[in-house]
């Protein structure tokens, strides 16, 4: 009987995953690395995740259906959800097949509803550079940076996010090798991520560096590291 019930739950899960609706898929290629890095957290209680840049919710839905499956786990999603906002970088906007920010947000909401995960998700609508300052320090197990792709945005998202992570928390930067603007390098994330990696090198441990960059916040900064900080 138990086996039968378990099967039913699995069937329901597959059915709801099949009802999700997206216009783009920038996320699936990363699943093998995410499985490797986040897999040990699957189903744990009380996980607190943050995503900067949710779009239609594809990466959010993967986190919710694969890792944040315990009823006490939570995901905060920051997105500007407005294609006309001056703080959304034009370069990335050109790659969005959705017509308006409203379409994007409606699809995000509908996908979260399909997973019946509304109670787990906090949606924060606006510019990450401002909203990140309203979140509690040292409180997230994991943060995904996939919002504005300019180097300055990625750098400021990284700097603000680092202090929001719990010690040993994980931070993933997307699109380290994306080069949509070879003629204007600062419109790509690469230089911003490199700047973060250089200036905060004493505060993280490198986990993975390829198309995405994954770091773990150090438990604590040692005395010799601290001497590098301004007094
Ligand atoms: C590449 S998409 C995110 C894709 C999503 N993580 C996924 O894998 O399906 C980038 C998102 O960042 C949002 N965005 C762009 N600039 C932003 C900013 N300054 N603050 C907050 N969100 C921003 C856009 O609205 C867009 O939805």
Q: Tell me: the pLDDT tens digits for 161-179?
A: 999 999 999 999 999 999 9
Specify the pairing of strand 165-173 against strand 213-217. Answer: antiparallel
* DSSP structure class, residue 150: S
pLDDT at residue 2, as a whole number = 41
- Which of 46-50, 87-91, 127-131, 221-225 has the weakest average pLDDT? 221-225
Render pLDDT for 4-33 as a digit per residue (tens, 0 to 9).
444 556 677 676 778 999 988 999 999 999
Say yes or no: CB of residue 178 within 6 Å of ligand 1: no
Answer whether 73's CB lies under 8 Å from 120's CB.
yes
27-78 residue pLDDT tens: 999 999 999 999 999 999 999 999 999 999 999 999 999 999 999 999 999 9
Q: Are 56 and 111 a contacting pair, CB within 8 Å?
A: yes
* 20, 24, 34, 54, best to mutate for ligand 1 pocket (most atoms within 8 Å of CB): 54
Q: How far is the CA of 148 from the centre of ligand 1 (A)?
A: 6
Residue range 75-83: mean pLDDT, rounded = 94
Each residue of 102-113: b (16+ CB within 10 Å) or e?
ebbbebbbebbe
Write the residue with the smallest CA distance to atom 22 of ligand 1.
79
CB atoms within 10 A of CB 120: 21
- Residue 29, number of CB atoms within 10 A of its CB: 10
Q: Which residue from 207, 224, 225 is spatially nearest to 216, judged by alpha carbons? A: 207
The residue whose CA is least distant from atom 1 of ligand 1 is 146
Q: How far is the CA of 53 from the centre of ligand 1 (A)?
A: 3
Domains of the chain and any CATH numbers: 30-220 (3.40.50.150)
86/228 Cα distance (integer angstroms): 37
* Cβ–ligand 1 contact at 189 (below 6 Å): no
């Amino acid at each position: 009987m138990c086996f039968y019930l378990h099967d039913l739950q699995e069937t329901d899960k597959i059915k709801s995953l099949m009802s999700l609706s997206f216009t783009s898929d920038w996320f699936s290629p990363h699943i093998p690395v995410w499985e490797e890095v986040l897999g040990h957290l699957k189903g744990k209680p009380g996980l607190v995740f943050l995503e900067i840049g949710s779009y239609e919710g594809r990466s959010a839905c993967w986190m919710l259906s694969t890792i944040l499956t315990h009823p006490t786990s939570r995901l905060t999603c920051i997105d500007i959800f407005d294609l006309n906002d001056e703080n959304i970088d034009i370069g990335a906007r050109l790659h969005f097949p959705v017509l308006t920010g409203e379409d994007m947000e409606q699809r995000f909401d509908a996908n979260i509803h399909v997973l019946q995960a509304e109670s787990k998700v906090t949606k924060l609508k606006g510019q990450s550079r401002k909203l990140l300052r309203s979140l509690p320090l040292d409180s997230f197990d994991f943060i995904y940076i996939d919002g504005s792709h300019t180097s300055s945005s990625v750098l400021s998202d990284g700097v603000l996010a680092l202090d929001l992570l719990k010690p040993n928390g994980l931070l993933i930067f997307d699109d380290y090798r994306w080069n949509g603007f070879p003629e204007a390098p600062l419109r790509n994330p690469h230089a911003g991520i490199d700047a973060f990696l250089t200036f905060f090198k004493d505060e993280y441990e490198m986990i993975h560096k390829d198309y995405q960059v994954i770091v773990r916040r150090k438990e604590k900064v040692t005395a010799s590291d601290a001497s590098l900080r301004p007094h």
